[in-house]
Structure 1
């Protein structure tokens, strides 16, 4: 008698662990074969939508261009104020390391800065005004001596310079539009001076606010970066701002040393208007690379009034100092600031001066250093990993 086989109580059928079956996609002959064709078909399907969005994009671009064009002065003031704040920030940080609270450090730095400005206005401004007046008074005599010189007389005989000048002056004063342009130019100069004073006030106020709120501005800016990269962004930003601040302080030291040396040499050799020319040298020394050369030619041109021997001696002494400054003074002062190759520095200064004038030339080198640092630490580091 055969035994009837029955399944074990509670037994379940074995589960088969097979790979899932991938459903085969049915290709629609009418569907586009690529993303480009899909976009093209969508464009033809919704032409009004794409036309409207394109018009909105063009309108936004034109609005931004209009805003940038009409707020150019404000943007320059903001950049200048930020540049000054970054230059004063290392001094405030140095005071913070000496257990001085940041608000008190800002007050001390501003008090010292205002004290220097007050001393400058109290001592140098009257002398500069006096020497400027003397320069204006003596200029006609110098011009007359030049006109009576044998060199100019020979030049006039050959090329009729005086007749040409008199003819052009007569034509100018006969032109009513040109004469009216003189008065318009005078009004324009007055408006420019008023705008300059207003801009100086705005820059000083913005510099104070930037200096006081620089840490909070940095923290807020760092939070715009992704959390995974925030620490790296903070390190790079701190290095850039520290380099810019050290560059500003270093450039101030270089300008002061340059002007002091020029004043001493001019005082020794009795170059006229030494205080005024030293002030001009200090201003021009802030312009990297070419400022010292321009200052040298200005002082040499004025020193010619005291004799060509004085001009030659001053030129030798000052150009020797420029070489000493280039190889010994600037590298020691700027060693903690920025390091930019010579070719990059020249190109950046020319480009910055062409775009933003003197301010562009001033900020060109630290900007180039910041770009080089970002390329080195971000792009090149990423390329090395690949």
Structure 2
């Protein structure tokens, strides 16, 4: 029996090895998954060329760059490519805006993911944690906010007829109506509008257009979220590919500049979100104390506007102060004093501490960039204006000025 045990153990080990070998073999007809991988970096250009002058041998004589045929051909190709790029850009404007927004969000979440990576958490798990936390926070925020907003919007709709009636019966409106016949003019325009079939068709078209705009907005939001996840997951690989496009002698410099720019953008997004949250919280507290109506709805508006740098808080303060006039001029004055005093405190104490690792842009450049970005791309342009201006200033300082100082 003792002699048979080693044989049995050997046979069992051989059987297990055979099964493991079969499991490691690919299934019949299966093909390996194709991956778009980066080509290996060449360490020695001369060795890679094999001593022939080029990688594929001697290409023979080349046409001179000053030859009229060469200049004309390349000029035609350049103009054609420029027109092609313009045509593609003009027909894919919405897609480009979605891509920019998704990249902006990915850069904003990247510092959080890298912080989690520094805590020995894999990047994939860090992305899941960061996105899940953000999704839960946004869901909880809207789940708490939406019922109150719906209630307050309903209240506004219910109170609107009473406000209109009080305005029509006011002495101010009566004096204007006596001088200019406003009531009669409004009645004529309403009758003309109701009896005009094109106007009624325009209302129906407006409703359909609003539904289409809402559907496009939801679809765009979904696309931006999906692209943000892809960009966030592939951001290190995207950076490596971008660095490989630069000449090898300049790659360390390009990498340092790119890391500084992307890091500043990410810190700016997070910092601006924190500043907007603090701004809206303070506004809600003051509105609740002084008795401004629709405090929750207005706090949500303040949070959205606070994302727009420099001018967003100012616009939010003016809007809320005007609405506070419905509760009395004393309420509006008290709120305006408190809120604009907070804006000064935020500008000198809160923002410098939160944004100390973000971008630093001169005030005049920041104002001009925000106005230009808003004119070109709307709210998205205003949001990305300051990081873009900071990146341009950094490139000018590190590339152009350094080169000029050498001459």
Query: Equivalent residue for 1:376?
Result: 397
> Using the alignment, how far apart are the partners of 1:55 and 1:241 within structure 2?
36
Corresponding residue to 2:210 among 189, 197, 200: 189
Query: Equivalent residue for 2:124?
Result: 103
Q: Would you say 1:239 and 2:260 are equivalent positions?
A: yes
Q: Would you say 1:280 and 2:301 are equivalent positions?
A: yes
Query: Equivalent residue for 2:234?
Result: 213
Query: Equivalent residue for 1:226?
Result: 247
> Using the alignment, how far apart are the partners of 2:84 and 2:184 within structure 1?
53
| Aligned partner of residue 336 in structure 1, secondary structure | coil
TM-score by length of 1: 0.84
My pick for the range that moved more, 331-340 or 348-357, is 331-340
In structure 2, the CA distance between the partners of 1:156 and 1:243, relative to structure 1 (3 Å rule), is same
Q: Would you say 1:290 and 2:311 are equivalent positions?
A: yes
> Using the alignment, how far apart are the partners of 1:105 and 1:55 within structure 2?
49
My pick for the range that moved more, 232-241 or 302-311, is 302-311
Q: How many Å apart are 1:160 and its aligned residue?
A: 2.7
> Using the alignment, how far apart are the partners of 1:178 and 1:208 within structure 2?
45
> Using the alignment, how far apart are the partners of 1:56 and 1:112 within structure 2?
50
Pairwise CA RMSD of aligned residues? 2.1
Largest Rg, 1 or 2: 1
Q: How many Å apart are 1:57 and its aligned residue?
A: 5.2
Query: Equivalent residue for 1:307?
Result: 328
> Using the alignment, how far apart are the partners of 1:61 and 1:171 within structure 2?
51
TM-score by length of 2: 0.80
Query: Equivalent residue for 1:21?
Result: none
Q: Would you say 1:64 and 2:89 are equivalent positions?
A: no
> Using the alignment, how far apart are the partners of 1:56 and 1:187 within structure 2?
44
Corresponding residue to 2:381 among 342, 355, 360: 360
Task: Name structure 2 gaps, 5 residues minimum.
Answer: 1-63
> Using the alignment, how far apart are the partners of 2:276 and 2:363 within structure 1?
19
| Aligned partner of residue 213 in structure 2, secondary structure | helix
Deviations 1:55-77 (A, max 9, x none): 66555443332221121111000
> Using the alignment, how far apart are the partners of 1:53 and 1:221 within structure 2?
26
Alignment of 1:1-386 (within 5 A): 42=68, 50=72, 58-386=79-407
> Using the alignment, how far apart are the partners of 2:395 and 2:81 within structure 1?
30
Q: How many Å apart are 1:97 and its aligned residue?
A: 1.7
